[in-house]
Amino acid sequence: MKTLSIDIETYSDVSLGKCGVYKYAESPTFEILLFGYAVDGGEVKTIDLAQGERLPPELIDALVSDEVVKWAYNANFERVCLSRYLRDMEISLDPFFDDHPLSMKRARFLSPKSWRCSMVWASTMGLPRSLEGVGAVLGLEKQKLTEGKDLIKYFCVPCAPTKSNGGRTRNLPRDALNRWEAFKRYNIRDVETEMGIKERLSKFPVPDFVWDEYHIDQEINDRGVRLDMDLVEKAIELDTRSRAELTAAMKELTSLDNPNSVQQMKQWLALQGVEVESLGKKEVAKLIESVPPRLKEALELRQQLSKSSVKKYQTMQRAVCDDGRARGMFAFYGANRTGRWAGRLIQLQNLPQNHLEDLASARALVKSGNFEAVKLLYEDVPDTLSQLIRTAFIPKDGMLFYVADFSAIEARVIAWYAGEKWRQKVFEDGGDIYCASASQMFHVPVVKHGVNGHLRQKGKIAELALGYGGSVGALKAMGALEMGLSEDELSPLVDAWRQTNPHIVQFWWDIDRAVMDAVRYHIPSIIYGLKIEYRSGMLFIRLPSGRRLAYVKPKIGTNRFGSECITYEGIGPSKKWERLDSYGPKFVENIVQATSRDILCYAMKTLRNCRIVMHVHDELIIEADPSVSLDAICEQMGRTPPWTPGLILRADGYTTPFYKKD
C-alpha cells in the first residue's frame, strides 16, 4: 500500500463550526460512524463502524505508518478525528517515541508528515475551498452528492426530542435504514470526488516544499497555545455586568425598548433633530463631536455597547481543549490568491490593539473579578476588556513568549522587486521608511518626534495606501481625512508619492503588460525574477521561491471604467464564485504579499525546532525557556532566503509573560 484516500463521517454533541475539530473530537460522545477509503486509487469502500464493523489491521497500520501517504479533503479533520479513534483503541500514534526509553508520554495526534490535503491542492490552483465548489468548477463526473447536508444533520448532530421520534436526542442507523444506506453512498462519493480532484490536478503537482510548509502548519495547529481561562471567565462575567448597566443607562436616557436596535436608535436621533444614514464606528465617532451633551452621552454609551471584540472571550471558552490550550486557529492557504493563512475560531488576524500602559495590573484586576475597581480605574469597561484579549494567550508555566516580527516586510519586498534604490538604502541604514518617504515627497528632512515630524504621518498614510496603485479613494479608506489631512491635499499626495517612487510605478505597468501578453498571446515572460505564463486555461505567476500563484480561466475583459483588464474566476467579496477583474498594481499586491508569506515560511523552517505556537501577519510567537536568546531568534528570523539575493530584512522582538503588542 502506497496511498490511502479517506473520508469519514462522525458524530459529536460539540458544534464543529463554533468549537473547531480539536474540541469536537474530545467530546465523550464523539464517534466515527463511517470510514470511506480507497487503496492506491482502487475501488472505494466504506466501513460501517456505527453498526459494529471494524477497521482491519492493515488500515490501522497504514494510518500510523509514515510510509503510506494519506489523502483527504480538509485532511486536518480526518487526522485529528482518527487520532482520537486510535487513542481510544490504545494504539500508539507514534511508535518510535512511544517505544523510546526517554519518551515521557504518548503522542496526542497522528504525525502530519505522511498526510496530504486535496483542499490545499485546490487552493494552490485558485479553486474554491469547498469540496462541492471544486467539483463544480472542475466539472467532475462524480461530484459531491447534494443531499449530504440533510443526512449529516440527521445522523451527525444531536436532534431535538419530540413525540414523533420517541423523545430521542440522537438518530441512529436503525432509526432510518434507507437514509443510512444513502449516507453510505454519500460517504463513498466524497472519496470518489476527492480522488477525481487529484486526477484532474495531476498536471500541476504541489511542490514538496509547500507540503513541508503544510506539515509545519499542522504541527503548530496541533501544539496549540495556552489560554488564561481565569482571565477569560472573569472577563465574560465583567462584560455581562457592564452590558447590563450600559443597556439600563441607555434605556433611561432614550426610553427605547431596545437601544441596541439600529432602527430604533436612528428614529430616536431623528426625533432629536439628527438624521443619520449609518451608525457605524466611524460615523458615530464623527457625530459625537457635533451633537448636544445628551445625544453625545447616548452615542458614547452605544460605542461602549458595540464593542463586539469581547465575543472573542466566549469563543475562547468554547474552543479551549481539555488541557487548557486552543488549537486549530490557522487555515493553511486560506487566502488562495496569495497562499497566506486565514484565521479560524478566535481569529488572531484581527485582535484589538492594546494601549494600556499597565497591562499586568489591568489583567490582575480583571482576574480578581472586582467590577467596581475596574470601572473606577479604567472607566470604559468594554474597551479595557477588549485591550486585554491578547493577554489571554499565555505560555506554559516557567516559559515566556518570544515575539518576533519582520520590520516593514511588504515595503522592503516591493522596493527589492522594483529596484527602488533610495528605499533600499533607507532599509540598509536602519532608517524609518515613513520619515524617509515624507522627506522624499516634500524635499525636507523629516525626523520622528523631531524636525518636520508632523510630516511623518503623511508619509505613513501614503506608504500604506499607495503602494499598490491606490489613489485618493485609498487614502480616504486608510483614514487620511480623520488623521487631519484635507481633501485638497490628497491628490497632490498621490502625485508626490508616485513621482518619488518611479520604479515601483514602472513595476506595476510592466507586470500589467506581461500578464496581458500571457493571456492574449500565450507568450510566457520572465520579468523581475517572476515567470508569467498561460497554460491549460490558467494564468501562473511563478515567484522566486518556486511557488506559483494561479488564476482560473483568465480572459481579456473590460473593467468598470471601460478600460481593458484581465478577468478570471475566483471567490469574490460576496463569497461566491464569480468573474473578477484585475490589473498590474493588483497583481503586484498579490506578488508582494505572497512573497512576504514565503519569507515568513522560510523563517518558520529555520525556527522549526522552536515551539512556534502562533503567527499573526508577519509575526511569530514562540513559547520558550527564559534562557533562550531573543537576539538569536531575531537573527535567525531575519536571515534572507537564498532566492531573494539583495533583499534587506530585519526582525525585531521582545519577550513577555503574556501575548501583547509591544
Q: Per-domain residue ranges for the chain?
A: 3-206, 227-350, 421-500, 595-656
The confidence score (pLDDT) of residue 310 equals: 80
Across 645-652, average pLDDT? 95
pLDDT of residue 105: 55
Task: Tell me the pLDDT tens digit for each residue of 573-604.
Answer: 888 899 999 999 999 999 999 999 999 999 99
Q: Mean pLDDT for the chain?
A: 92
Lowest mean pLDDT among 228-237, 381-390, 474-483, 520-529: 474-483
Instruction: Examine the pLDDT at 101 and tell me if it is beyond 50.
Output: no
- Give pLDDT, residue 301: 85
What percent of the chain is modeled with pLDDT above 90?
72
Residue 304 · residue 246 · CB < 8 Å: yes
Q: Helix 502-521 crosses helix 409-418 at what angle (to 10 degrees)?
A: 70
Asked if residue 99 has pLDDT above 60, the reply is: no
**Is a pLDDT exceeding 50 seen at residue 103?**
no
Residue 385 CA to residue 282 CA, distance in Å, equals 21
Of 646 and 91, more confident = 646
The pLDDT of 158-182, averaged and rounded, is 94
- Give 31's pLDDT tier (boundaries 50, 70, 90): very high
Q: Indicate the pLDDT class of residue 642, thresholds 50, 70 and 90.
A: very high
Given pLDDT bands bounded at 50, 70 and 90, which one contains residue 646? very high
* Residue 273 pLDDT level (bands cut at 50, 70, 90): confident
Q: Any idea which of 268-277, 528-537, 592-601 has the lowest mean pLDDT?
A: 268-277
Q: How many CA atoms lie within 13 A of 551 on its CB side?
A: 27
Q: pTM for the whole thing?
A: 0.92
**pLDDT by residue (tens digit) across 201-211?**
999 999 999 99
**pLDDT at residue 283 greater than cutoff 60:** yes
Cα separation, 571 vs 590, in Å, equals 15
Residues 609-635 as b or e (16 or more Cβ within 10 Å = b): ebbbbbbbebbbbbbbeeeeebeebbe
- In which element (H, E) is residue 416 found? helix 409-418
Residue % of the chain over a pLDDT of 70? 98
Say which residue, 261 or 151, is predicted with more confidence. 151
CATH number of 227-350: 1.20.1060
| pLDDT reported for residue 104 | 46
The three cell numbers locating residue 189:
462519493
Inform me whether the pLDDT recorded for 60 exceeds 80: yes
* Span 105-109, average pLDDT: 77
Task: Convert the pLDDT of each residue in 301-333 to its tens digit.
Answer: 888 887 766 889 999 999 999 999 999 999 999
Q: Which residue has the cell 500510523?
A: 64
CA of 174: how far to CAs of 153, 164, 169, 507, in Å? 16, 15, 14, 65
Q: Where are the alpha helices (DSSP H) in 156-271?
A: 177-200, 208-223, 229-254, 262-271
The per-residue pLDDT for range 429-456, each reduced to its tens digit, is 999 999 999 898 888 999 988 989 888 8
Q: Determine the average pLDDT of the residues in 338-358.
A: 92
Q: Specify the CATH architecture of the domain 3-206.
A: 2-Layer Sandwich (3.30)
What pLDDT was estimated at residue 95? 53
pLDDT at 98: 42
pLDDT, mean of residues 399-408: 96
pLDDT band at 282 (very low <50, low <70, confident <90, very high): confident
Helix axes 262-271, 293-305, angle to 10 degrees: 170
| Cα–Cα distance, 442 to 452 (Å, whole number) | 10
CB-based burial, 337-370: b 16+ in 10 Å, e otherwise: bbbbbeebbbebbebbebebeebeebbebbbeee
Lowest mean pLDDT among 233-247, 291-305, 593-607: 291-305
Question: What are the cell numbers at 358?
Answer: 499597565
What are the contacts of 355-358 at 24+ separation with CB within 8 A?
355/387, 356/384, 356/387, 356/388
